[in-house]
Each structure stands twice: as structure tokens, then as C-alpha cells.
Chains A and B, each alone.
Chain A
Amino acid sequence: MNQLNQVVFANIDEQEPWTIDSYIASGGYEAWKNILTNKNDSYKPENIIETIQESGLRGRGGAGFPTGLKWSFMPKDDTQKYIVCNSDESEPGTCHDRDILKLNPHALIEGIAIGGYAIGATIGYNYVRGEFMDECYPQIENALNEAYQHGLLGKDINNSSIDFDLYNFVGAGAYICGEETALLESLEGKQGKPRFKPPFPANFGLYGKPTTVNNTQTLASVPMIIKNGPEWFKTFGTEKSSGTIIFSVSGHINKPGNYELPLGIPFNKLIEYSGGILDGKKLKAVIPGGSSTKVLPAHIIEDCTMDYESLQEAGSALGTAAVVVIAEGTCMVNLLKRISRFYFAESCGQCTPCREGTGWLYRILDRITNGNGKESDLELLVDVANRIEGNTICAFGDASAWPVQSFIEHYYEEFEYMVKHKGKTKAA
């Protein structure tokens, strides 16, 4: 049975699925219209939150926090509240939000509207990654205009006395703005630097008002859950990882791309969907959830199912489900250097350990690959990474430390070999 595209991309094979007519023809905006007409009690805000909680939907942005629970944190008073969609998809390897914005923008708009209604927000912002300016932004902006033209958004929508306005906002291309509080700062027009927590956005968010920030894929999953019920959603996936997720498979793979599949699918099955390892090579390792998650050698990942629990047990994380496939013959030292350079370049510079440490890590790796490494460097790398981890305002510090820790843990000999052989790689 083909398990592909059952929730977020259910309508993806229709003609021009990004148009509102196509979306409505395949059952889109049904949930939102039921809310607007107050069809029955299940469309009351508190019941929508309950439905999402029951469905077991978890945040697809990387941390996997239960979405319904996050929504339930919003205060119930009548102050201005905001819902913000995090379309600042920047985690290396990840590209599913890009396809949602491009191919199924109305599912996202409907999801934001439902989420906003559920938490009591009358204004939503969709923060789109700066690099999506040409490709996705016109699509989502066009879809937004269509939704307004069809009277699905605005003030007192269809005399329902429900207000919801949505705005698209293009960022300026900083990785750190994917961190929810840095995103809020950026949205307010400030430098994209994460805020310290507490207070959390649910109490002090955009412009100091209660705010929920959800990932694009999370919100795009919402309409189908409301339409088909939580039990339907739970028929996909595992007990603790329900539903489907879009895997962005990249690296040494024959058919790189986005595959929406039920959570809990065996790793090998995912590789099968993606056409197998490039050039028939042997699998060496996998970064299972975007560059920030820990690398897993082939013999570990091959026994894993692709869900939150299994990968955590294996010592990594599902993250954004951006699966980076690494075939035999790849130099892990050079790969780590490339990853560390990314974190060095993207640190916001606010916290001391991250600002100073990411550059230190990169430069040590750089000198190892240039043949100038010292034997003490490997211990130093791990120690510096350990000293960054957990000591910063946001999770960026951890994200810069985990690759270093895991690469050296699993491929110590490769690093040692390169140090001893003046930059010559063992992998080749």
C-alpha cells in the first residue's frame, strides 16, 4: 500500500493544488467554514484545542512539543493575542515547508486561521524565510489574497463575528530567526536575537502580548485533523508519534525529495521510497533530523523506526525529519567542518559561549583538515562543545555542540587519522 501523502499533501496530485478552487474542490476550508457557521460544539475554541491534544500532533519544527498543549498555555482573558507561523525554514537539509508554501498554501492559511481562532488570536503573521522571496512568497501571498477575496479572512468574517487577519512577512535570511523568540524580535523590527525565557511567548510574545508560534507543517496538518477527527489522525504513526511527517531526504540518495509518510516507518522503508543509496554504495551514516541532530552510524539507524521515541533512544532526534544520507567514502571530518562553519556563521553573537565557541570549534576543525591539527585537538573540540551545550539562551548552542560531540564519538579514528597524517582523510 502506498503510504505517501495522506495528510498535509493529500491534495497534492490535484490540478494546480495551490489555487483556492482546487483546494476547496478537494474539501479544503470545510473545517474553517464549519467554525465560521458555528456548526456544532466541537468547533468551539476549547474543543478545537482538545481535538488537537487528542490527535497527538507534535510540533514539526524540530522540538516535537505537543501542539494542543502549547495552545492550551495561552491565557483565556481578552487581551490581544497573536498566532505566528514559523515559515523560516532554515535547518540544513530541511525543505518541506517550502513545498507546503508553494504547493499547498491554502492548507497553511486554513491551519493558521483555525489555530488563531482556537487560541483567541485575531491577528496572525506568517514569517517567511528571506530566501523564499522569489519562489514561495508570491505563491503564499497570492493564496492569501484569494482567501480574502473569498471572504474567508478579515473582520466579522461572513457575519460570524469572528475576526481574523493574516499577514505574510519576509525575513532577511538569518538562521537564528527560526528560533521562535528571535523570530518575534525580527517580526517587531529588531535584531533577530533570541529572548531569554521565562517569560515564554504564551505570556510575553509579539509586542509583549500572548503569542503562539507554530511551524508551517504543524499548522498545515490542522485542517485535516479538524475535518477528519483525532482518531483518524492517530491511525497513522505510532502511539507517541501520531500522524504523518514530511521527510526531506537529501545527500547520497537516488531520489532526494520530500516524502510525507506515517511516523514510525522503518528507516529502510524510507530509503526504499527515496530510491536507495546513490550509486549503489553502502550506507555510512545518517543525520536524521537536520544538521543540528546527532549523527547515527549505519548500523544504528538501520534498526530504527523514524519517530520521536526510536531516534531519541538511539541517541539522536527526529528534529525536522530532514534525513541527510551519508554513503561510504564520505570524509566525516570535512563534513563536520562544513557543519561547524554553518553554526559559526549563523551565531547571533549574543551569548558568550556560542559567540566565542562556535568560531573556536570551526577553526580547530579547519586546521585539522589543513594538516595542522594537534593530537590534543580532539579532546579540546569535545570539551569546548560540552562547555557550549546547555549554557546559552537558546538551543543554538546545543545545536552547534551536538554534531561535534556525535561525529567525534562515532568516528574518532577518522579524526585521529587525519591529525596524525597531516590532513589526509581515512575515508577515501
Chain B
Amino acid sequence: MTDKKVKITIDGAVHSVDKNKMLIEITDELGIYIPRFCYHEKLSIAANCRMCLVEVENSSNALPACATPVSEGMVVNTQSSSSKTAQESTMEFLLINHPLDCPICDQGGECELQDLAYSYGKNNSRFDLLKQTKPNDDLGPLVSTDMTRCIMCTRCVRFGSEVAGIQELGTIGRGEASTISTFVEQTVDHELSGNIIDLCPVGALNNKPYRYTDRTWELDQIRSISPHDCVGTNIFMHVKNHKIKRIVPLQNDSINESWIADRDRFGFDGIYSSDRIDAPLIRRNGELVTASHEDSVKLMNEHISSLVNANSQDKIAALVSPSISLNEQFLLANYLSLQGIKNIDHRIHQIDFTGDTLDPLFPHLNINLNEIQNMKTILVMGSDLRKETPMIAHWVKRAADNGSSIHFIDNSIREYHFPISDYIMTDYDSITENIGMLVKAAFSISDSFIPNHIEDRLNKLPEPTRTHKQIALSLCNNDETLLINGLLARSHPDFALIRSYINILSELSSSRIGELSHGANSVGAYITGCIPHRNQLAEPSDQGLNALQIASSNHDLLILYGLESKDCLYEKNLIESIKGSKTVIAFSYFEDEVFNEYADIIIPINTTYESKGSFINLAGTLQEFNNEMMHPHDYLSNEKLLSDLINISGQTLPSFEDFLKQLIPFIQESINNPNYINELPLETAEKDALNSLNQFNMYNLDPILRRSKPLQSTKESLGDS
């Protein structure tokens, strides 16, 4: 026995347990249940509900297990009559003012109060006075309120102040009149606010879109991965009659803890939009008409093989969504490369491709998400972090709460709810220059040799300010440091130069580089070869057209997979290309006005909410999902569709299993040896006034989110007015 352990007796059995833990943590580990409402393992201790009171010998009163540290020789009786009396007393007090109308409450069946009332409540009530009612607040389109049901456990309040960082809800009033409210009437707008629905143990805060649609015990639960960003948030889909009814978090402490972003929770609504398409459409005499699967596959093959046979592969181009599954990316990339087609890209949010040769093997974080909290210094560059990746913003907040210094270089002052050490606010163009000045400061701190060509470049920059020096010092002097390269930087006209500066900075300060990427599976897109400059597993390839070049020229055949023109940073260019290309094949989830007008073949595909497949998140974790039960009958999977195309073209279907065998070592190797190339790009991109990304709407990232009614009703989507 070490000094980190103490011996305690619980219900007559002696246990050697970890010191410095609360009794309830120990009993939870041992599988001994103590009832609770206010306690939540991810939140601070409140000890206010008094449900977890247990008898501890030598204490005159029952003690709350959630707030009682274990100590040597402690004797606890969780089943004694004094424990039971204390718990039953609390239950009676909770119920006197709580409505006893569980059958009409949306929480019924998954209510912690209801569950515990079976064990600790009575069949009859001694309270024969009038019950209290409380007014409801309108918290916006996502969370419904029924405050009369509230038991004042304050989990939602603590979530706001501790996890979200902004206390959108608080307790007001005193005694019996206490209530949870926003005080000044407003909605809950934080990107993680939906989590208070899961935290609320009773029916006071509920899922507004889901409310009163189904009873929870009729739902099936499917594990899945959220497709709306590169984090790979783990979710449970609650399903009835092959339809998703709601989504809740699946706890994964190395990715998303117990939380999911609102877009992970409410985004799925988009797949039930009325403009989903379910049959292939072929343009005949200018009109789109329904066709069979076989006919459409045959027609596609005819278009492609005629060009391939004429050695005109360079007249074919494909743009692919960064959010499709690894399996689709693999088949699609193989289908095209087997026929010698090089023009394929998924980087529809990138303008500057001059650094392609300096690209890492794939964009990644270099560490696991939960390790972000251990970083001593984090510098975030060109990122609207909370909107781009709410979960990474959450982990960065954790680091800040742990006392790390967090620095930002950004083109706008954004609201972060944690202490920030330095914030360099500059215009969008000057982000590059400011990172360069940081490199300059880091060179003088580290006293390293500066190669001539870099020195020439740096000499043209202004001298670093005190703030630049401070940030550089913080990076150089600390051991665990992380440079986060955000999505705004990725869409920057100087992206290549920005990344080169970051690579140099990383070497000078021994910092890790965390690159954020668009969509759910940019990592997979790089590895499967959905890029014009490399093949599968980063094998060299002849250079094809990049996304911007594809969108800015006309082709004999343009293939679009899983994306709409609105998803593209250069939407106007892409629309012109769709108009000007001879044949356009769109694999799409939804009807789209541009496709309706100009596409020649429209093929319906399944969203990942309805498919089997996998994503690789930006920490390099391959996560599988199987959502095939969303289909009541046999259905045509995207994989089958793509396999049919490969088969009909006369090529051999490549083995996904063989690919997977090489994949995991490849990812490990690349993450452990990131091999950042410390070269500056030779040329800079043309800075024509392409749509630079100043506004980042977190609910307009993909065709599904754009069609989610709850998300489109939020302040984020509607604007403040």
C-alpha cells in the first residue's frame, strides 16, 4: 500500500482507495450506487441537492458523498437506515413542488428524478398544499424550458461558467422563489449550449426540435461520428422507424468528453429536408428526367470512357467534398486515377496552392485532442476557433484554465471566454506579415543561423513589436507548445507563406503544429489521393489541376461529389465552370438550383448519417460508423454505386482492406515524424480579389447544415437583428 491510498470501509467491505478523491467517485468506481442530482463528474461540486447524503460513522449528520473526501479509516454505510432516511427526505422535498405529471413530460422515461423516485420516493404525498409554478424563458430555437420542473441542481449554470466559459444561465431569486434564468431576457447562443439539455436531470431543459415527437423508450441507439468538422465528435443517434429523432453525445474523453457542439446535435435535421433527391436524373432535351440506376451508371461510363479513350483525361475534372467517408474517397480517387485522370481536389476552401510541394502528408494536430490542455503555450493564427472547431476551442479553454498562455493573431477581435495573454489584431492581409515578424523575433531569441533566402524575406518586414517578442519568448521558453493554423489562414491568399513561416517558427521554438482542416475528412482526402499533386498514401503523381483551377476553367466533363457551389469559397467561379463545362455530373444529396439548371446527370447519394464508413479526424484517429439501419429496405450504397462505376469501366476493384492495412502505420509514422519543410514557397499566389473569408458562419459549412431548420433559426444564422 502506498501513501496515495487510504483504507475505507463501505457497507462492511474494506477497500484500499485513492486519496484525494470524493467518496462518490470511489463508490462509482466500485460500482456502489449513491443517488445524486447536482453531482456531475465533468462539473465542479455544488453539494446542493442533498440526494447523495450517506451515513459516515463518527459524523453527527449524514454527509454528501459528492463533497466528502475519503480519509483513512472512514466507515460508510450507504444502505443504513440513516442514509436511507436522509435520501428519502431529500426525495420528498424535491417532489413537493415538482409536477407529478410524468406521462406528459418529455423527459419521462429518461428522467433522473423519475428513476430515483421509484427507489427513494413514496406512493402517497404528505404535501397537500398548492404546488409552485415558475415562468419560462425563451432560450431560442434549440432548448425548450419548463422551469416548474426545475430542481435547482445548477448543472446548467455550472456548465456555462466552467465549460462554455460564459454564464448564459444563472440562478436568480432566493429560497423557494429561486429559479434558473438568463435574467435579462436573451437566448442561449454558445456553440455548446445544447449540452445543458443532457445535463438537466429533469424535464426543465429539453431538446426543442425533438420535444413531444417521440417517447425515448421507443428509440434505438446507434453509435456514430459527427460529420460537420474535423474533430470526429462521437455521437449517439437515437432512431425510430429508420429515422433519426435526435442526437446526443457519446462520451469519449480523448476527443469530446461528454460534450457535442450544437451543430453535431441539430445538424442532422438537414437530411430530412424536402429537397432530398431519391432517383437519378438525366437531362434529355433540356429537361431533367428520372432514370434508373443502371442507365445512369451506363451513361456516366459512356461520357468518361469516350474521353479516356480519346486520351483526353486532362479534360475531365472532379471536385470532392471534404466531408465524405474514407471509403468513398478511396473508391472515387481510385476510379479516376486508374483511368489516368489527375484533376481531382477537395480543397474547395483554399486559394493559394503555391505551397503544395511543401504540404505535410496530411493536415493534422500532431497530438491527441485531450493533450491540448497540457500545452503550456498555444498560439492560434488565422482562426475563428470557436466556430471552426468548437471542441478544439473547448480544449484550448482547458489549457487556459490550467494556466497556459494563449496567444492569437487574427483579423478580428473574437469573443473567447478564457484568459488570453496576447491578441494581435490585424487586417486579413497582414496576418502573414505578423507571423513573419514573430519568426523574426524567434530568430533573435534563439540566436539561430538564418538562411540567406529567408533573411532577405524577413528583412523586408517591419521590426517585431513587444507583443511579437513576448509571444515568441513564450513559445521558445516553454516545453509543450502548439501552433494552431486555423481555417481562415487556410483560405488566405498567402496560405503557403503563412505555413512556411509557421514551419520555421515551429523549428525555432520546438513547437508542434496543429493544422485545422475543412470538413470531416480532409485527412482521409489527402491520404486517399483526392488531391491533384499526390496519389494514395502520398505517392508522387503528375500534377493535376487544383481546386481553384478546376473551378475557374471549363471542362469537357466536370464531376462534383457531395458538394454544392455554395460550399466553395469561389462560388462564382464554380458556377461559371458548371455553366461552361460540356457535361456536368453531380453526385448530390439535395436538389440544387445550379444543378437543376446546368447539370446533365444528377446522382442521389447517401449522407454519412445513412451510410457505413469511416472518418479520420485531425488527430489521425480512424473512426468507423455504421448507419445502414437508417434504410428500411435494400438500398444502393455510395460504395456500391462507385464500385459499379469501376466495374463497368473495366477496371479491377481495388481492395479497401489492403489499403487499410497500410493506412494505420502510415498515419502513425507521419504524425510521429511530421517532417515540416522549412522552405519558403518560390512564388506567391495571384492576389486577385477572390472572396477572402472574413465571415465564418458555423451553420453554413455543408449542404446538410444549410438545411437544418433549428440551426438556421439561431442568432448565428439569422444575425443579431
Contact = CB atoms under 8 A, between A and B. Distances in A.
Interface of A: 174, 191, 196, 198, 344-353, 355-360, 363-364, 367, 380, 387, 390-393
A359 B175 contact: yes
Contacts of A392: 50
B176 to A, nearest CB: 5
A353 B93 contact: yes
Q: Which of A345, A350, A353, A380 has the most CB atoms of chain B within a 10 A radius of its CB?
A: A350
A391 B152 contact: no
B277 interface: no
B354 interface: no
B60 A390 contact: yes
A193 to B, nearest CB: 8
Contact of A352 (B50, B60, B129, B173): B50
Contacts, number: 86
12 contacts: A174-B174, A349-B176, A353-B89, A353-B90, A356-B94, A356-B96, A357-B93, A360-B127, A391-B50, A391-B62, A391-B89, A393-B48
A287 to B, nearest CB: 22
Contacts of A347: 174-176
B92 A387 contact: yes
Interface in B84-134: 85-86, 89-90, 92-94, 96-97, 126-127, 129
A424 to B, nearest CB: 22
Contact of A356 (B47, B62, B69, B97): B97
B651 interface: no
B178 interface: yes
Instruction: Identify the 7 closest CB pairs spanning chains A and B, nearest first.
Output: A349-B178, A387-B89, A390-B61, A347-B175, A356-B93, A196-B47, A349-B175
Contact of A346 (B67, B85, B175): B175
Nearest to A374: B128
Given A196-B64, A196-B67, A358-B176, 18 more contacts: A346-B175, A349-B176, A350-B48, A350-B152, A351-B48, A351-B49, A352-B90, A352-B152, A353-B50, A355-B152, A356-B96, A359-B175, A360-B93, A360-B129, A380-B126, A387-B92, A391-B61, A391-B89
B151 interface: yes
B99 to A, nearest CB: 14
Given A174-B174, A355-B178, A356-B97, A349 B152 contact: yes
B310 to A, nearest CB: 76
A393 B68 CA distance: 12
A351 B49 CA distance: 6
Nearest to A359: B176
Interface of B: 45-51, 53, 60-62, 64, 67, 69, 85-86, 89-90, 92-94, 96-97, 126-127, 129, 151-152, 171, 173-178
Contacts of A198: 69
A2 B343 CA distance: 107
B45 A196 contact: yes
A66 B301 CA distance: 92
Contacts of A353: 50, 89-90, 93
Contacts of B94: 352, 356
Nearest to A380: B126
A46 B648 CA distance: 93
A350 B151 CA distance: 10
A164 B481 CA distance: 42
B159 to A, nearest CB: 17
A390 B176 contact: no
Contacts of B60: 390
Contacts of B53: 391
Contacts of A393: 47-48
B476 to A, nearest CB: 31
B175 A344 contact: yes
Given A353-B50, A360-B129, A380-B126, A191 B176 contact: no
B134 to A, nearest CB: 12
Contacts of B173: 349
Contacts of B85: 387
Nearest to A362: B176
A352 B175 contact: no
B175 A345 contact: yes
Nearest to A350: B48
A380 B96 CA distance: 14
B151 A352 contact: yes
Contacts of B51: 352
B46 to A, nearest CB: 8
Nearest to B85: A387
A391 B83 CA distance: 11
A361 to B, nearest CB: 11
A137 B85 CA distance: 46
A391 B67 CA distance: 13
B171 A355 contact: no
